[in-house]
Amino acid sequence: MRAVIQRVSEARVIVEKKIQSQIGPGLLILLGIEDTDGAEDIEWLSGKIVRLRIFNDDEGVMNRSVGEVNGDILVVSQFTLHASTKKGNRPSYIRAAKPETAIPLYKIFLKQIEKETGKPVSAGIFGAMMEVSLVNDGPVTILIDTKDKE
């Protein structure tokens, strides 16, 4: 699993000209799922994300997690995070999981984030053409890959 985590002051997803989801201050998570991903990846990644200390404390130091600031979370599936550009100029998405694998893992990921934060999680629509807009706060953007576990 690969995630791009962005600290935002607001974010929204529009599908077919209608707002699907929107949040205030918190995290926008773009999530890419591979065929080899499973429950262990979900557990590790969700835990890492909700415990990331990337929100400012009273001294202006990034020392608080999304839960500590009562932040919102919006998760958007994005198979293009697994693009390979090694050959030619047209990306290959062969590493991205097919919908029959990815959709159940995406849903489990959403439930795991909700369980760990104790708050509802907003989401895009898997496989839909979405317009994602955000105001990146900081800017703070972090890439995490469960295969690297950095």
Contact between 47 and 67 (Cβ < 8 Å): no
Active site residue 146: no
Contact between 10 and 22 (Cβ < 8 Å): yes
The single residue of 36, 80, 85, 101 carrying the catalytic annotation is 80
Compute the distance between CA of residue 63 and CA of residue 69 in angstroms, rounded to an integer: 10
Q: Which of 72, 11, 6, 3 is closest to 31 using CA atoms?
A: 3
Residues recognised as catalytic: 80
